[in-house]
Structure 1
Amino acid sequence: MFKSYLRKQAIEQYNETVERYEKTADKLNTYSEKLYAKRDLAMFLVSKVENKINTLANTPKEFEVSLKKTKLEIKTFNDKKAEIIKAEKEAKKAAGGTGAGASLSALGVAVATMGPTAAMGIATTFGTASTGTAISALTGAAAHNAALAWLGGGALAAGGGGMSAGSVLLGLAGPIGWGIAGTMLTASVGTGLYASHKNEKTAKAASEERLNVEQAIRKFNNMNAEIKALINITHRQMKGVYDLNKQLKKDDYNMLSDNEKIQAGILVNSTLTLAELINKEVKLDD
C-alpha cells in the first residue's frame, strides 16, 4: 500500500548489504593489523642485518648504496610508528577537552576511533598525507572534513582520495554507522499520494546508497587480496634474509670465500628489498 512494500524491500536489501560491508571491513582491519605485525618483525630483522653489515670490516663500496637506502627505509617505517604514538597522545589529551578538540589531528581522530593497534595497521598499510592546512586551527565540520581528506591521502584536487577515502579508513574501526536505513524506518510516512511519493523516494535513495556500499565491498575485497599477498610475500622474503644472515658468521669481508662474498651481496640486496616491501602501501583508489 502506497508503495510501502517497495520501501521495505529496498531497506532490507540495503541493511543486508551493510552487514556484508561490515564483515568485509572487519576482515580488512584484521589483515591490516596482521600485516603490521609481520612488518614490525621484518623491520627488526632488517635493522639487525643492516647493523651486522655495517660492522663487517672491509666491505666493498657497492654495499654502501644499498645500505643507505635500507637505512632510509628503516627511518620511514619508524617515523610512521612515531607519528601514530604522537597522535595517540594527542587523541587522549583531546578526549579530556571539548568535542572540537577531538579533531586536533586527523590521525588523532583515527586513533580515537580505532585504537592504537588498528590505527598503526591502517597507517602503515594505507599511509597518510597532509592537507596542507593545520587541522588544529579548524573546528566543527571543517575540521572533520579536513581530517577525512587527510586520512584519504589529501584533497581530490591535489591527487588524494579525499573525504570518501578518509571515510573508508574510519569505517575500518567497525560498524560505519550508515544512518539512512534507520532514519527511513522511523520517519513518518504520512498518507495518500504524499505517502506513496515518499515511499518511492525512500526506496530509490536506499537502492542508490546500497550500490555505493556494494562498490565499497568490491574495493575492500580487492584490498584484502592485496594485503594477504603482501603478508605472504613479506614472510617469504623474511625467511630468505634470515637464512642468509645466519650463514654470514665472519666479521671481515676479506676473510670470506668467493661463494660467501656472493651470499653477502645477495643478503645486502635482499635486505633492501625486504625494507622496501615493508613500506609498500596499498592504494585506496580504484
Structure 2
Amino acid sequence: MLFTNVKRKAEEGLSRERIEYRERYQETLSSAEVLLDTRYEAVQLLHECEEYLQMISNHPYTYDLKRSKVYKEYQAFEKQLKKYKPHKNKAEFLLGGRKALGAGSVLLGPNAMLAAVTTFGLTPTSAVLGLLDGTATVNAALTWLCGGAFALGGGIMVAPVLFALAGPVGMAVGAGCSAANLLTADNKKKIQQAEVNTAALKSEIVWLRSVKKRTETLQAETVSLSRLVKKELEELKTLKKQEYSSFSGGEARKLGTMMNNAQSLREKVVETIPLSR
C-alpha cells in the first residue's frame, strides 16, 4: 500500500508539471505572436516614414533607411511577413485581450508558427512555412509546438529547443508519451522515471518563463519606439513641406531625429531572442 501511494503521488506530481509546462509553453507562443503583431504594425509605420522621406526633395542621403546596418536582415523579415495573416477580429488579439480556451489555455492566432520563427531567429524551410497556410494554421502550430519535452524511445525528459524547425528531425512528442513510457517499466523504475521527468519539467518551466519575459520586454520596447516615431512623423507632416531647403534648423533636426529613431525601430524589429540558456 505504501509503495502504491508513493507511485501514485509521483505520477500525480508528474501530471501536474506536464499541465503546467504546456500552459507555459502556449503562453510563450502567445507572447511571441503579440510581438509579431507589434512588429507588423511597426513595419507599416516604417513604410510611412520612407514614403514621407521620398516626398522631401534634396534630403540628406544619410537619412535613407536602406543605409541601415540591418538592411539585409530587415529585407528577410519583410519577406517572411508575406506569410502574415491579419486577424479577422483584431480586437481579440490586442495585448492583454486574448481569449482563453478553458483553464490554463491561451488562444493562439493564425501566426503562431511565423511568430516563433521570427522571434527566436529560426530558419525553417519554405515547405515548413507552406504547411501553415490556410485554415489549419492554428492546429498545425499547436500540434507542432505544444510538446517537445519528451524524447522518443527513452522516455527521458530532454531540454526542449522551442520551435527547432531548421533541423531534419521535427518535434514528434505527443501529450501521452510520458504515460506510455511509464507503462513499460517496473514499479520502482516508474517512480524513478516520474521523479526524473518531474524535476526536468520544473527546470523547463522556469526557462519558459524567462523566455516569455524577454519576449514581452522586447514587445514593450518596440511599442514604445513605434509610438515615438509615429508622433514625430505626424508632427513633421503638419509642416506640409516638400523641399528640404525650406526646413528651418529646428525642423531639419526634427526630421533627422525621426529618421534616426526609425533606424532604431528597424533594428528593434529584426532583433531576436536566443534560446540558449
TM > 0.5 fold call: yes
1:127-152 Cα shifts (integer Å, max 9, x gaps): 21369xx99xxxxxxxxxxxx9xxx9
Q: Deviation of residue 164 (structure 1)?
A: 3.8
1:56-79 Cα shifts (integer Å, max 9, x gaps): 111123324x44227545412212
Q: For 1:279 and 1:208, how far apart are their aligned partners in 2?
A: 38
Q: Deviation of residue 163 (structure 1)?
A: 9.1
> 2:234 is matched with which residue: 246, 252, 274?
246
State the one-letter code of the partner of 1:19. Answer: I
> 1:123 is matched with which residue: 117, 124, 136?
117
Which residue of structure 2 aligns with residue 225 of structure 1?
213
Mean alpha-carbon deviation: is it higher for 76-85 or for 26-35? 76-85
SS in 1 for 2:111: helix
Which residue of structure 2 aligns with residue 57 of structure 1?
57
- Distance 1:48-1:71 versus aligned 2 partners, 3 A rule: farther
Q: Deviation of residue 188 (structure 1)?
A: 7.4
Please tell me whether residue 199 in structure 1 is matched to residue 187 in structure 2: yes
SS in 1 for 2:60: coil
1:241-283 Cα shifts (integer Å, max 9, x gaps): 0011111132111111101111111111100111111111111
State the one-letter code of the partner of 1:36. Answer: L
Identical pairs, percent: 20
1:41-99 Cα shifts (integer Å, max 9, x gaps): 011001110222133111123324x44227545412212234679xxxxxxxxxxxxxx
Q: Which has the larger radius of gyration?
A: 1
State the one-letter code of the partner of 1:180. Answer: S
1:204-239 Cα shifts (integer Å, max 9, x gaps): 111111122112111110011111111211111011
Q: Which runs of 5+ in 1 are unaligned?
A: 86-113, 136-147, 153-161, 190-197
State the one-letter code of the partner of 2:269. Answer: I
- Distance 1:285-1:176 versus aligned 2 partners, 3 A rule: farther
Which residue of structure 2 aligns with residue 208 of structure 1?
196
Q: Deviation of residue 178 (structure 1)?
A: 4.8
1:1-286 aligned within 5 A: 1=1, 3-64=3-64, 66-69=65-68, 72-82=72-82, 116-129=110-123, 164-166=160-162, 177-184=175-182, 187=183, 198-249=186-237, 250-286=241-277
Q: Deviation of residue 6 (structure 1)?
A: 2.3
Higher helix share: 1
1:79-131 Cα shifts (integer Å, max 9, x gaps): 2234679xxxxxxxxxxxxxxxxxxxxxxxxxxxx884211211121121369
1:166-187 Cα shifts (integer Å, max 9, x gaps): 5678xxx9x9525213542xx3
- Distance 1:9-1:168 versus aligned 2 partners, 3 A rule: farther
Asked if the contact 1:43/1:74 (under 8 Å) is kept, the reply is no
Asked if the contact 1:181/1:206 (under 8 Å) is kept, the reply is no
- Distance 1:115-1:266 versus aligned 2 partners, 3 A rule: closer
Q: For 1:28 and 1:182, how far apart are their aligned partners in 2?
A: 27
State the one-letter code of the partner of 1:203. Answer: I
Which residue of structure 2 aligns with residue 156 of structure 1?
none
SS in 2 for 1:37: helix
Q: For 1:272 and 1:221, how far apart are their aligned partners in 2?
A: 30
Q: For 2:197 and 2:163, how far apart are their aligned partners in 1?
A: 15
**Pairwise CA RMSD of aligned residues?**
3.3
Asked if the contact 1:45/1:242 (under 8 Å) is kept, the reply is yes
- Distance 1:200-1:84 versus aligned 2 partners, 3 A rule: farther
Question: Normalization by structure 1: what TM-score?
Answer: 0.67
Asked if the contact 1:50/1:71 (under 8 Å) is kept, the reply is no
Q: For 2:116 and 2:162, how far apart are their aligned partners in 1?
A: 11
Q: For 1:168 and 1:221, how far apart are their aligned partners in 2?
A: 18
- The size of the alignment, in residue pairs, is 218
Asked if the contact 1:14/1:181 (under 8 Å) is kept, the reply is no
